Amino acid sequence: MKQLYQPFDVCVADMEHWNERALIYQFFEIVQIMEGEGVRVTNSHNYTYHKGSIFLFTPTDCRGFESTTPTRFCSIRFSSVFLEQYKSKPERERIMRWLKQLETIFTHHNRFEEILIKRSADCDMIASLIGNMIDEYTNKQSYYTENLQHLVTLVLNILSRNAAPEQPLIADNRCDEPLINKMLAYIHRNIDQPEKLRLKNLAAQFNFSEHYIGEYFKKFTTSSLQDYVTKYKLKIIEQRLLHTDHPINRIAAEFGFSDESHLSRHFRKHTNHTPAQFRKVHKA
């Protein structure tokens, strides 16, 4: 596991051979391949890359690379704290709501499919914005932090419009695998809305009986529906504890817990730490 010890970092590096096993990095990362070819390894899935390929990793992704030719890449790394540094409170709140939506979009894509930039103009725009980020970060002229924040959000906006589904999710019983992916994406997108994830509402959303939906879910994930929702919710809460300074009672309320002690009971059961202990140990 790797940490980022500052809100933002840019690194341009050469990689002839990747000598590390895939790791979970506790930060967001945008990677642009500047030269070379090989395979991106993400959550045990392999995706080929080439010059111009662009990837976004979330804090929960396990990632690595297998290069087949010498590779040069630009890595832009940032925590949610970096985007929380906007000066006005309304802007900070807007950014955090938006970042939470992106978190669910990219968590789904990095587990089930590769993000493809559909328009060549979008690829060119991202490449230009990344070049501007490198310049701002290297030269550190006046207002460079604010400029970097805006450049990051522009890149994420372009990536998200290529990753977000063009049509609303609907149940489709004609194809089992896409349906389970849709169910998982729905859970991820609504993880902070407990009412939508109740068995009755999930069954209605995907046109299942309440009895069968749990059986169907376990068939494809080997996990019970309730256990999956709980573990995913706690994984996202871990990221809130690591990458924000939000009070624990605020995080508890965000995810439908009645108070901090209610969250602590569930969190300790799965991690052997209270949220406060977890934050103290892992942010030390």
Residue 193's domain is classified under what CATH number? 1.10.10.60
- The pLDDT value recorded for residue 129 is 93
23 and 46 both lie in a single domain:
yes
Most confident of 35-44, 84-93, 180-189: 35-44
Q: Which of 62, 72, 67, 68 is nearest to 12 (CA)?
A: 72
45 and 137 both lie in a single domain:
yes
Return the HEC string of 134-195: HHHHHHCCCCHHHHHHHHHHHHHHHHHHHHCCCCCCCCCCCCHHHHHHHHHHHHHHCCCCHH
Residues 64 and 118: beta-carbon distance below 8 Å: no
Place of tokens 């290069």: 67
Query: What confidence tens digit (pLDDT) does each residue in 120-163 have?
Result: 889 889 989 999 999 998 898 988 888 988 898 888 888 888 87
- The pLDDT value recorded for residue 107 is 67
3-state class (DSSP) for residue 11: strand
- The pLDDT value recorded for residue 165 is 53
20 and 127 both lie in a single domain:
yes
* Structural domain contains residue 138: yes
Angle at 94 between CA 152 and CA 61, to 5 degrees: 50
52 and 110 both lie in a single domain:
yes
3-state class (DSSP) for residue 36: coil
224 and 267 both lie in a single domain:
yes
Last residue of a domain, one of 121, 138, 163: 163
How many whole angstroms separate alpha carbon 171 and alpha carbon 278? 38
pTM: 0.55
Mean pLDDT of 227-246: 84
* Structural domain contains residue 171: no
Q: Which of 123, 145, 154, 137 is nearest to 33 (CA)?
A: 123
Query: What confidence tens digit (pLDDT) does each residue in 238-284 have?
Result: 878 887 888 999 999 988 888 999 999 999 988 899 999 999 887 65
Mean pLDDT of 84-105: 70
Q: Check pLDDT > 80 for residue 224.
A: yes
Could you tell me the residue range of the domain that residue 262 belongs to?
176-282
39 and 156 both lie in a single domain:
yes
Percent of the chain with pLDDT over 90: 15
- The pLDDT value recorded for residue 84 is 65
> What CATH number has the domain bearing residue 122?
2.60.120.280
134 and 89 both lie in a single domain:
yes
53 and 118 both lie in a single domain:
yes
Residue-averaged pLDDT of the chain? 80
- The pLDDT value recorded for residue 236 is 83
- The pLDDT value recorded for residue 26 is 61
- HSE, CB side, 13 Å, CA atoms: give it for residue 158: 22
121 and 260 both lie in a single domain:
no
77 and 37 both lie in a single domain:
yes
Max Cα distance, the chain (Å): 61
121 and 25 both lie in a single domain:
yes
Q: Check pLDDT > 50 for residue 168.
A: no
Residue 30 Cα distances to 153, 193, 199, 216, 277, angstroms: 12, 28, 36, 35, 30
- The pLDDT value recorded for residue 125 is 92
Last residue of a domain, one of 104, 137, 163: 163
33-36: Cβ within 8 A, 24+ apart: 33/71, 33/72, 33/73, 34/72, 34/73, 34/74, 35/70, 35/71, 35/72, 36/67, 36/68, 36/69, 36/70, 36/71, 36/72, 36/73
Question: In the chain, how many domains are there?
Answer: 2
13 and 91 both lie in a single domain:
yes
How many whole angstroms separate alpha carbon 174 and alpha carbon 49? 32
Q: Check pLDDT > 50 for residue 167.
A: no
How many residues does the structure list for the chain? 284
